[in-house]
Structure 1
């Protein structure tokens, strides 16, 4: 029987009494550093605002951005869509480029490997590759999967998903059954042991508890971090923004003493690490399309939450809909012709002022193993990319549902190399303004994670942007 959120939180001490965000901001600015977030899919921008995201990691591009001395810079790696061996190679490549860009720009960097709050991703392989390339093998790996905006919290070392105000261990959710990144343990110490195949035992994983944060404050955090052996893993319990503020203040002070840290976290930690508010909701910009074109929603994610949101949108909205039957895409002798036909129909509807929803069939096709499943995902994603490439009519705005989907559509379908993250339109759902050189210059582009929001959220976002 699961506890409710209220029942569990009532057992915890109250939040640490001191507000720390402004003090963190002062310390961070004085450090003269930029936080570089390597995001394994684009949903990591979901808590940030007024920051730049790059879909390319060319040394010159990163150098130019670092010379602007930003507080935060995102680099979209989309590594969650890759087999582990390719993700490792990519981490080495990006780490090498980061080293060169940091040296060329004269800017010190702090690296966060941002990944999924439901524990899917290439851990520890990706982080290990980064630590080697960045010469940080002696750094403590700080693991912070808490995603406050999305209802993912960690208590007593167990990571939970909040579902209808009930605390569900993530090991009991569909995310734990992911065909590529599945796992058995919600206890993060045991999860680390599981993911490292026993090379790090649960008893050797360090932990910062809720009591440490709320009763001991930053000083207790410093003591716990200083006690962590170099190269070890330290998991962090967190329920609130204040918990993460206390953590960050302790981390900043521990860094001053020479301790090194490499972060693996969800999105919530990112702005707080720079002393910035997390999850500030933005008011959508009025679109300057110069026409009455309709909007475009493209759905690739297969998680149950996405399917329920799609069903609600189709049942309660007025959009024209096209289903992409995945089984036909995988067996088609001429997929480009099929994609072109969908693009042409979409163009007609958009030009007539109709909103359009393009979605993949809801029965997920899986392969015999994780590698073949990733190949299937890539094939389907490339099909959606081609639909977008062949469009000639500019939509009023674009919503991309699913992490891998939204990454590929932005970088490959729309040829966007940079974007400005305006902020979340609803908690956990960021809006980007794509660069002037993209297929549809400066269009509003919504990166909608598959596992965020209630049943009505997809329709709600479309209505908010329809201004």
Structure 2
């Protein structure tokens, strides 16, 4: 008898923040076939492959995405040959403010794992105040929906864009290969109704833009998508995190947010690392310093370019002193986005800063009780390089949009260290301070 394939949701995540609405699943910082097989056979209904491509050039992003897909195809084939077939549901998880290598990544996934009948853009992320209505993607700021092209994120020096109306965004990003008029729109009325027949009729990897204002919209959409997939339709998704909530349909997380301090090692003080430089992160950093007893330690990026070694040793000394005096510390890069003549130079400087932050994480005091990592690229580097984790399991959310993972018990330097993954663009001005107050148990 032929075994019915089990469906596994596979999120290829361009930074490590896509797990911000789920729990109990694996995050992979490696994607060799053996590690992928481990995740494919894990009990959780989904897992994340942390590609970190948002911090790369388009060419490097394409290369990494292709490598993941080739290895995934091999892992799936090996499981099928062993009598344990898996039906993959692929999600290219990216930023809810539309920054990222689209359509580079979805094109590569389609080449390697297709053909697909459709690919869907679903950027709504309710925990972060991102909704899509009448095809327009909004950020809700102080209760008011603002088209995302009017927000600071649209001015990003690498991923800037002009349109919040998703069909126009698609035409802009595909340089006209997919015309705005060719994008199929799923309105709020559509996703709240019966779209089964329409889903069955999609072919030729048509691009679809999906409205959603609340989780129940995506719950209804996801239920019908999964039914269509069960009938043989093949779909690809470019989405933010909220769609994954609906696909996974997980029960409430086993550890309450307010109880996360129980994981702090020995009740000791910790470190907050802020690499994200967007205005929201800066306001959150300022509130953290104003409202808590955390010791502020600035990483002067101008000095980094001139005198990296002495800066490094000075910062480590200050962290050690704070730990010995039983104080938590916040390490933060000097604020603002530096301007560069070319994207390549901007990315190269970013890589240098990331490498410096990784080195700091590798050399944090061994007694560190917890770590909060603020920013997507910063968090990916923290997990994959700073802590050298091959996999990590998500314990749950400490705040809407902020995951907690834990180092394994046999970690060489930081066994059982809890790590908060805090995206750059999530939460109000007091969110970082609130997360710190929940997890800090060193008083």
TM-score, normalised by the number of residues in structure 1: 0.88
Cα deviation, 1:294-331, whole Å, max 9, x if unaligned, reads 21001010111100010111112111111111122123
Match for residue 87 of structure 2 among 105, 108, 116 = 108
The RMSD of aligned alpha carbons is 1.7
Name which of 435, 439, 443 aligns with 1:461.
Answer: 435
1:61 maps to 2:35 = yes
Distance 1:56 1:336, change over 3 A: farther
Are residues 1:172 and 2:150 paired? yes
Aligned twin of 1:21: none
Question: Residues of 2 paired with 1:104 and 1:331: CA distance?
Answer: 51
Corresponding residue of 2:100 = 121
Of stretches 60-69 and 86-95 in structure 1, the one that deviates more from structure 2 is: 60-69
Tell me the residue number matched to 1:33: 7
User: Is 1:347–1:393's contact at 8 Å kept on the other side of the alignment?
Assistant: no
1:288 Cα deviation from its structure 2 partner: 5.5
What is the CA-CA distance between 1:180 and the residue it aligns to? Answer: 0.5
Q: Secondary structure at the match of 1:47?
A: coil
Q: State the Cα distance separating 1:204 from its structure 2 match.
A: 0.2
Displaced runs of 4 or more, over 6 A: none
Aligned position for 1:183: 161
Given candidates 419, 423, 428, the residue that maps to 2:396 is 423
**Contact 1:238 1:244 survives alignment (8 Å):** yes
Q: Deviation digits for residues 353-394 of structure 1, max 9, x if unmatched?
A: 111011000132232122221111111111111112122333
The aligned counterpart of 2:301 is 326
Displacement of 1:341: 2.5
Distance 1:196 1:300, change over 3 A: same
Counterpart of 1:239?
213
Matched residue of 1:297: which SS?
strand
| Structure 1: gaps spanning 5 or more residues | 1-29
- What is the deviation of 1:138? 3.4
Q: Any unmatched runs of 5+ in structure 2?
A: none
1:11 alignment counterpart: none
Structure 1's 423 and 227: CA in aligned 2 closer, same or farther, altered over 3 A?
Answer: same
Structure 1 residues 204 and 277: CA distance shift in structure 2, 3 A: farther
Equivalent of residue 212 in structure 1, options 190, 193, 196: 190
Structure 1 residue matching 2:263: 3-state secondary structure: coil
Partner of 1:81: 55
The equivalent of 1:46 in structure 2 is 20
Residue 278 of structure 1 deviates from its aligned partner by 8.2
CA separation of 1:328 and 1:192: change in aligned 2, threshold 3 A: same
Change in Cα spacing, 1:433 to 1:161, as seen in structure 2 (3 Å) is same
Equivalent residue for 1:306, pick from 281, 285, 296: 281
Of stretches 69-78 and 269-278 in structure 1, the one that deviates more from structure 2 is 269-278
* CA distance in 2 between partners of 1:127 and 1:437 (Å): 37
* Bigger shift: residues 222-231 or 451-460: 222-231
Counterparts of 1:17-28 in structure 2, within 5 Å, are none
Change (3 A) 1:288 1:265: closer
Q: Is the 8 A contact 2:116 2:236 kept in 1?
A: no
2-side partners of 1:128 and 1:279: how far apart?
34
Whole-angstrom distance in 2 between the partners of 1:112 and 1:389: 31
My pick for the range that moved more, 146-155 or 391-400, is 391-400
Shift of 1:277: 5.3
Shift of 1:142: 1.1
Choose 340-349 or 380-389, whichever is displaced more: 340-349
State how far apart, in whole Å, the 2-side matches of 1:108 and 1:294 are. Answer: 44
DSSP-derived class of the 2:260 partner: coil
